Amino acid sequence: MSIIQCPQCRKEISNRATQCIHCGYNLQEPQECLKYCQECGSPIKNTENTCPYCGCPVEDFVQPAQNKKNHMLHFVVTIVVIACVAIVGYGIYQYNNRITYYKVVDEINTARNESVDEVNECSALLMDVWNNAIWEVSDPKTDPFTCPNGVFVEDFNDALQSLYSDAAFCEKLDVIEEQQLALRKLEKQLPTAPKGLEGHSELTHDMVENHVDLSMLVLQPSGNYYTVLDQFNELFDQANEILMELESYNE
């Protein structure tokens, strides 16, 4: 059942009604309500030349069936347009997300590469000072810390303390710490990986984590010489594996 308007009083009634419950209009009179005004939608008699409700001329009147077809056509067209807009919008979103993703990845790679040299230099000096202090090996780079007065220190910890008190070395450590914080900040800006790049995103996070661990090992070494050396070697090997896997995404 649907609701229509009475042709006479224009009040709402059932389309199955045989008589208007409001004004008593006979809805079964032949050919009384075959036309509908396209302008206002009111049902009118076939004998009318103009719509008595809005004045629309007779040539603009349409049959109800045709009116329903037009509404259905408009509905289908609207659905198709909405679907097309949604598809195009999703495509634009994916494209912009991919552009943003690679932009942040490039910034992460740049920040890491700038920090790698500092970390490698400081870690190498740290392990050289440690080794040379233990085995009393003379080296122009480590002598200021291992044998400051021409005599090797009795305890390698004295050499390490001297290294970590050196102004130039401390300045490099400050730079490493700042680079570490900047790298973490960029990692938080990395958007959700575009479709197909989930593995790339995971490797990028692993790369940042690996470099932060290397930085912390330089900033705060803990353990004996051999355990720290093993940690450095393990992290360097891990970094190479991650970079090789990331490179495969660009091939």
Average of per-residue pLDDT across 172-186: 96
Average of per-residue pLDDT across 144-165: 95
Give 118's pLDDT tier (boundaries 50, 70, 90).
Answer: very high
Residue 136: is its pLDDT beyond 70? yes
Given its phi and psi angles, is residue 26 left (phi above 0), alpha (psi -120 to 50 degrees) or beta?
A: beta
Global confidence as pTM: 0.65
> What is the model's pLDDT at position 10?
77
Give the whole-angstrom CA distance, residue 180 versus residue 107: 13
> What is the model's pLDDT at position 29?
58
Q: How many helices (H) and strands (E) does the chain have?
A: 6, 5
Give 18's pLDDT tier (boundaries 50, 70, 90).
Answer: confident
| 207 CB-contact burial (10 Å; exposed 0-12 / middle 13-18 / buried 19+) | buried
Give the whole-angstrom CA distance, residue 162 versus residue 142: 10
Give 20's pLDDT tier (boundaries 50, 70, 90).
Answer: confident
Residue 48: is its pLDDT beyond 60? yes
Give kind and range of the element (H or E) at residue 111: helix 64-135
Give 16's pLDDT tier (boundaries 50, 70, 90).
Answer: confident
Polymer length of the chain: 251
Residue 33: is its pLDDT beyond 90? no
| Long-range Cβ pairs for the range 29-37 (8 Å, 24+) | 32/7, 33/7, 34/63, 34/64, 35/61, 35/62, 35/63, 36/61, 36/62, 36/63, 36/64, 36/67, 37/61
Which range, of 96-100, 153-157, 208-212, 238-242, averages the lowest pLDDT? Answer: 96-100
Residue 251: is its pLDDT beyond 80? no
Contact 134, 223 (CB under 8 A): no
Strand order in the sheet with 35-37: 43-44, 35-37, 61-62
Contact 203, 232 (CB under 8 A): no
Average pLDDT, the chain: 85
Give 109's pLDDT tier (boundaries 50, 70, 90).
Answer: very high
> 63-105 pLDDT, tens per residue?
444 555 566 677 777 787 777 777 767 667 667 888 999 999 9
Give 134's pLDDT tier (boundaries 50, 70, 90).
Answer: very high
Residue with tokens 């932060």: 212
